[in-house]
Amino acid sequence: MAHFEKASSITEWLDQRLAITTVKKVMALEYWIPKNINFLWAMGMVLAFTFALLTISGIFLLMYYQPNVDTAFDSVNYTIMSEVGFGWLWRHIHGVAASVVFLIIYIHMFTGIYYGSYKKGREMIWLSGMLLFVVFSAEAFSGYMLPWGQMSYWAGMVITNLFEGFSPDIAGGIMNAPGLVEWIRGDYVPGQAFLSRFFMLHVLLLPLVIIGLIGLHFAALRIPHVNNQDGEEFDYHEAAKLYKEGKTKESKVIPFQPVFLSKDVFVLGVYLIFFFYLVFYHFNFAMDPVNFDPADGLKTPAHIYPEWYFLWSYEILRPFPKDPGLIAFGFAQVAFFLLPFLDKSDTVAPANRRGLFKYWFWIMIVDMIVLTVMGKLPPQGIWNHIGLVAAVVFIALFVSLPWVTKNENRA
């Protein structure tokens, strides 16, 4: 065993056993961040903070929520909303955070795409980020089932029905298509088995996976470091040496703590003003009015649509006939994962300084907004045609990306 001296303070005692000074140095005081970045680089921290808010508010809701088809609706809409002190506040925080987290995820993702932060050694940051996006989507969907309102029930029905499209071969030949849907639901229609398993996924399994993936995402950032506004590559050892010698002006880096963290905390403060404004004055945007009616398997709502953050991918499914629609939907789910491999240019630079990619980027943003708007409208007449065109454009954008980026010159 190592030799231990008598410690003169708690810090020294801990340091001898856990090397906390070294950990602090590696994780914070000498974790170097480029100077040349803007407020968009605080979105990662905003996301981590919002996930913490979701966890804490979720724990409070869990104290009164009942995962039972007969009592779930009342436990949310009466017990938590009117009987428990401040239950409404925790529910509004949870509901608003679940919606806003997607807004921030999209900003964070598109910042990464705009600045080319998925390339050359940063692929693992991108892939772990995309896994986080998928698991967050599953987390949001499973949470949406829990109040057991009309939209919970019917969205659960529509989404699980999608698995009918899997042929026996895709499902490994083990079960036929209707069998797969029933296996997922645990019944012929969404019922108690369905609610119980989505409850388990929402409060246990998926949050654990998210925590693991956030760990992987942070670890993946360590070696390549975060990108910067010009995509500039520089010698971190050299820059850190200058900073430590006191030449902070000449150095291209700042330490994570306290310099960068103070900037992160400022952005977080502005975000929290916006966040709590929504919680207190506009929480309804995060709650579908149809979901204030209890689930009824005999009464289909006139118009079933998902939450705003899933509308773009829903609209890639909807305008096509069933099988091509499922293939297009599957494509939309993997398209962003493939970005580091579809982009054939080595140039790490903001999109506006890249050849054809600058048009590609902005067309993609506009197209996703059009898909989102169309996804909310009823699939009739002109809306259906616009939705179809936007879905085809989305697929064409990703198919053409290798060609768009192949002979790119930096502007």
Binding positions for ligand HEM, rule: CB under 6 A? 41, 43-45, 47-48, 51, 105, 108-109, 112, 115, 117-118, 122, 125-126, 129-130, 132-133, 214, 217, 221, 226-227
Q: How far apart are the first and last CA of the chain?
A: 61
The percent helix, strand, coil of the chain (3-state, each to 5) is 70, 0, 30
| CB closer to ligand HEM out of 105 and 287 | 105
The Cα–Cα gap between 3 and 16 comes to: 10
What is the nearest approach in angstroms of ligand HEM to the Cβ of residue 260?
9
**Token reading at 167:** 């042929």
| CB closer to ligand HEM out of 214 and 365 | 214
Could you tell me which of 107, 85, 104 has the C-alpha nearest to residue 96? 104
What is the nearest approach in angstroms of ligand HEM to the Cβ of residue 230?
12
| CB closer to ligand HEM out of 202 and 217 | 217
The Cα–Cα gap between 301 and 26 comes to: 55
What is the nearest approach in angstroms of ligand HEM to the Cβ of residue 385?
31
> Are 344 and 405 a contacting pair, CB within 8 Å?
yes
What is the nearest approach in angstroms of ligand HEM to the Cβ of residue 116?
9
What is the nearest approach in angstroms of ligand HEM to the Cβ of residue 105?
5
272-295 in b/e form (b: 16+ CB < 10 A) is eeebeebbeeebeebbbebbeebb
| CB closer to ligand HEM out of 51 and 163 | 51
The Cα–Cα gap between 208 and 219 comes to: 17
| CB closer to ligand HEM out of 160 and 313 | 313
**Token reading at 139:** 């987390």
What is the nearest approach in angstroms of ligand HEM to the Cβ of residue 109?
4
Closest residue to bound ligand HEM by CB:
44
Positive or negative: CA dihedral 358, 364, 366, 369:
negative
Residues 6+ apart with CB under 8 A from 59: none
| CB closer to ligand HEM out of 94 and 318 | 94
What is the nearest approach in angstroms of ligand HEM to the Cβ of residue 134?
9
| CB closer to ligand HEM out of 140 and 221 | 221
